[in-house]
């Protein structure tokens, strides 16, 4: 470990205006990486290679692949505004000068290159061979829209933290939600990489027709391929998808009989690498925090490209180890930041090399795993947010459970999650399950380096809640001034009062349940905002685990007095088995367990790998789910919708 110059990939992976960059996914796909290495090795054997770069992507390509061996005879551009720019050590010339390059090969640096190549056929040097990025194309059988290769739906992908070692195992659960958008047949193409980045298994998962469930167990994969211990990641590619270009899932980590005991769940990883992540908690006394750095790129992460710093502190400690393509490394946070202590929070300099990382906390003979979140660098303070109160009420709010207090403590820690947030003017409101305010805490105007955790017990000060639970909302509070950008986040920690087992989850604020819209809020999963309905996926644990769910009905302004929420139980094939209606008060919540809502006979009919869809056409709900195991073990994270 040491302090070195940060090396960050200069590539665009995601735009909050345009969405995901399909070119980035196309050239970093593991199959494309294999083919790319072959193409660039072949070009390195040529005498002189001219590069025609009509879409200004060669610079990004050179970030991801070693092109230094190619004898570049010149760089040529189509857009006159790109003439003179520099990439691969070359200044771009107009493509009309290509004929004078003396090249014996020309690389047309784009996909679907046939038409582009036809336009410059008369400009090619005599006898020159032509290559293009179409050499990196996936097989036709893996392309959903063959008419437009860089359609984002062709790269419906994600990475999955996946481990089966030391008594710990992982289990991915999702459903074929693409069928609801018209997908006829969907196949998950899966590649498992070990900790060194070596491919150790490759297979297809044919998804059931309709909205059937999908389960990938690490122990099943291990047995199928005769593997030893592994701690790495799976790359998933959904072929034949429709409607969503991200593979969403819930991931459980089990440790039955292991030392330390473990039971955790986490949300799907964000499939777009980011330069920064935040919300990593520092270790408490008696704890160790391990950050999993899992390279999502077909190139190595150079030393000095990943680093950690305390939030608000400019002193960054970088990892002095190179991490191979698709490899995983477990980093002890205390090694990089030995003085960091809870409730301090840590910022991660990620260099755009990895998707949302996982971290694990060990202490008291137990282990839990959670994820950090994307820290945005494209935002600036928005003065209008402070002026919208009369129209949008509470405006942006972040809801989280107050779990039944007889069993669990509930703790909230606001976390800066954008480089624009030099202060956080926030308050925490506690509601009982019926939607009535029970307590309020003003944090004031937190500085970026402040880390203030609040235990709900201290706010209630001995007061009782009906049915012993409720929820809390983090909101903006401008009483002492300050700025806001709408990207408001917090980490919520829950502790079993007897066993000491803990779980934590983190997420960001949205505007909820108002017909007025602002800056794309209230968000909608499909179609234009506002999003005023609910379709959440609740995975169900198999015996001996029960499933818990905490549904919250947040409202920025008063909405319908009660929800009309259906819990629709499906079997593994997606067939509806049973349906239960519940109501939730506006600004209220409902905590329940699967075994309490559906009786034993119904659960037997549903069988293993069953799941619940939480459906409400009257309001947008926000949900958290988890499992309850033996000896006080439990898990909790936010649910996903589709």
**What are phi and psi for residue 315, nearest 5 degrees?**
-80, 110
Cβ atoms 288, 361 nearer than 8 A: yes
Quickly list DSSP for 329-374: EEEEHHHH-TT--TT-EEEEE-TT-SSS-EEEEEETTEEEEEE-EE
Distance CA 143, CA 196 (A): 29
Q: Is the pLDDT of residue 351 over 70?
A: yes
Distance CA 18, CA 111 (A): 19
**Cα-based torsion angle of the residue sequence 603, 538, 291, 26 in order, rounded to the nearest 10 degrees:** 120
Distance CA 349, CA 389 (A): 35
Distance CA 310, CA 283 (A): 12
Cβ atoms 364, 502 nearer than 8 A: no
Q: What is the mean pLDDT of residues 107-118?
A: 96
Distance CA 120, CA 118 (A): 5
Q: What is the mean pLDDT of residues 430-446?
A: 98
pLDDT at position 631: 84
pLDDT at position 2: 39
**Residue 624 forms beta bridges with which residues?**
550, 638
Cβ atoms 529, 521 nearer than 8 A: yes
Residue 479 burial (10 A CB sphere; 0-12, 13-18, 19+): exposed
Distance CA 130, CA 107 (A): 6
356 — pLDDT class (breaks 50, 70, 90):
confident
Helix (H/G/I), strand (E/B), else coil: 579? strand
pLDDT at position 614: 98
Q: Is the pLDDT of residue 28 over 70?
A: yes
**Residue 349 forms beta bridges with which residues?**
276, 307
* Sole residue written with tokens 């519940």: 582
Residues 6+ apart with CB under 8 A from 183: 176, 240, 241, 242, 243
Could you tell me what percent of the chain has a pLDDT over 70? 97
**What are phi and psi for residue 80, nearest 5 degrees?**
-65, -25
pLDDT at position 377: 92
Distance CA 250, CA 270 (A): 12
- Span 265-279, pLDDT tens digits: 998 867 788 999 999
Q: Report the chain's mean pLDDT, rounded to a whole number.
A: 94
Q: What angle do CA 604, 605, 610 make, to 5 degrees?
A: 85
pLDDT at position 5: 41
Q: What is the mean pLDDT of residues 483-490?
A: 97
- Span 238-271, pLDDT tens digits: 999 998 888 999 999 998 666 668 899 998 867 7
pLDDT at position 260: 67
Cβ atoms 114, 108 nearer than 8 A: no
CATH of domain 30-137: 3.40.50.720
Cα–Cα separations (whole angstroms), residue 343 to 73, 365, 401, 475:
56, 21, 19, 20
Q: 531: closest CA among 552, 517, 545, 550? A: 517
Helix (H/G/I), strand (E/B), else coil: 315? coil
Distance CA 388, CA 557 (A): 11
Distance CA 555, CA 394 (A): 8
Comparing 4-13, 139-148, 279-288, 296-305, the range with the smallest average pLDDT is 4-13
Q: pTM here?
A: 0.93
Distance CA 470, CA 455 (A): 14
Distance CA 98, CA 399 (A): 59
Distance CA 62, CA 64 (A): 5
Q: What is the mean pLDDT of residues 276-305?
A: 96
Which runs of E-coded beta strand occur in 295-344? 307-310, 317-318, 328-332
Cβ atoms 160, 221 nearer than 8 A: no
- Span 517-564, pLDDT tens digits: 999 999 987 789 999 999 999 999 988 899 999 999 999 999 999 999
> Which DSSP category does 79 fall into?
S
Q: Provide the edge-to-edge strand list for the sheet that holds 489-496.
A: 454-455, 408-415, 489-496, 502-508
What ranges do the domains of the chain cover?
30-137, 152-374, 384-641
Q: 620: closest CA among 552, 527, 557, 550? A: 552
Distance CA 441, CA 215 (A): 42
Cα–Cα separations (whole angstroms), residue 45 to 38, 42, 90, 104:
11, 5, 19, 11
Q: Is the peptide bond before 544 cis (omega within 30 degrees of 0)?
A: yes
CB atoms under 10 Å from CB of 47, counted, come to 10
Q: 621: closest CA among 598, 592, 597, 578? A: 592
- Token pair of 333 as six digits: 């946070």
Q: Is the pLDDT of residue 194 over 60?
A: yes
Q: Is the pLDDT of residue 36 over 90?
A: yes
């Amino acid at each position: 470990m040491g302090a070195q110059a940060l090396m960050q990939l200069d590539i665009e992976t995601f735009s909050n205006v345009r969405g995901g960059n399909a070119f980035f996914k196309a050239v970093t796909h593991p199959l494309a990486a294999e083919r790319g290495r072959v193409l660039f090795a072949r070009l390195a054997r040529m005498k002189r290679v001219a590069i025609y770069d009509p879409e200004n992507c060669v610079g990004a390509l050179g970030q991801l692949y070693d092109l230094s061996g190619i004898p570049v005879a010149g760089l040529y551009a189509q857009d006159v505004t790109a003439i003179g720019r520099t990439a691969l050590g070359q200044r771009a010339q107009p493509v009309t000068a290509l004929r004078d390059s003396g090249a014996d090969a020309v690389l047309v640096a784009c996909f679907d290159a046939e038409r582009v190549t036809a336009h410059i056929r008369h400009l090619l040097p005599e006898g020159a061979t032509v290559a293009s990025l179409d050499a990196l194309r996936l097989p036709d059988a893996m392309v959903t829209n063959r008419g437009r290769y860089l359609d984002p739906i062709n790269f419906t992908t994600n990475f999955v933290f996946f481990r089966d070692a030391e008594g710990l195992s992982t289990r991915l659960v999702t459903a074929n939600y693409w069928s609801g958008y018209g997908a006829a047949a969907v196949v998950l193409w899966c590649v498992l990489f070990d900790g060194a980045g070596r491919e150790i298994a490759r297979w297809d998962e044919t998804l059931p027709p309709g909205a059937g469930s999908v389960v990938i167990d690490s122990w099943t994969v291990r047995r199928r391929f005769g593997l030893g211990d592994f701690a790495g990641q799976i790359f998933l590619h959904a072929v034949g998808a429709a409607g969503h270009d991200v593979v969403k899932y819930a991931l459980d980590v089990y440790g039955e009989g292991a030392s330390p005991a473990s039971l955790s769940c986490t949300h799907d990883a964000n499939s777009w690498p980011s330069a920064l992540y935040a919300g990593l908690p520092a270790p408490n006394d008696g704890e160790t925090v391990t950050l999993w750095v899992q390279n999502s790129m077909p190139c190595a992460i150079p030393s000095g490209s990943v680093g950690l710093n305390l939030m608000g502190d400019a002193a960054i400690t970088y990892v002095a180890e190179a991490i191979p393509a698709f490899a995983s490394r477990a980093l002890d946070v205390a090694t990089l930041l030995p003085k960091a202590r809870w409730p301090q929070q840590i910022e991660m300099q990620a260099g755009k090399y990895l998707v949302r990382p996982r971290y694990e906390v060990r202490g008291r003979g137990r282990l839990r795993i959670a994820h950090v979140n994307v820290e945005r660098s494209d935002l600036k303070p928005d003065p209008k947010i402070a002026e919208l109160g009369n129209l949008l009420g509470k405006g942006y709010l972040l809801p989280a459970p107050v779990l039944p207090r007889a069993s669990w403590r509930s703790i909230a820690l606001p976390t800066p999650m954008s480089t624009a947030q030099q202060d956080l003017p926030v308050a925490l409101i506690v509601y009982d399950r019926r939607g009535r305010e029970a307590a309020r805490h003003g944090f004031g105007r937190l500085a970026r380096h402040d880390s203030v955790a609040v235990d709900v017990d201290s706010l209630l000060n001995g007061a009782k809640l009906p049915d012993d639970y409720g929820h809390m909302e983090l909101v903006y509070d401008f009483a002492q001034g300050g700025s806001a950008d709408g990207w408001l986040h917090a980490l919520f920690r829950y502790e079993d009062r007897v066993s000491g087992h803990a779980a934590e989850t983190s997420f960001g604020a949205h505007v909820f349940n108002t017909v007025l819209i602002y800056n794309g809020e209230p968000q909608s999963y499909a179609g234009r905002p506002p999003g005023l309905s609910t379709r959440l996926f609740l995975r169900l644990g198999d015996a001996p685990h029960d499933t818990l769910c905490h549904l919250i009905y947040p409202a920025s302004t008063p909405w319908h007095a009660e929800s009309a929420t259906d819990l629709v139980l499906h079997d593994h094939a997606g067939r509806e088995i049973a349906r239960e209606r519940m109501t939730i008060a506006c600004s209220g919540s409902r905590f329940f367990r699967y075994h309490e809502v559906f009786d034993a006979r119904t659960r037997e009919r549903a069988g293993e790998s069953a799941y619940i869809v939480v459906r409400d056409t009257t309001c947008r709900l926000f949900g958290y789910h988890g499992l309850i195991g033996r000896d006080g073990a439990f898990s909790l994270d936010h649910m996903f919708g589709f």
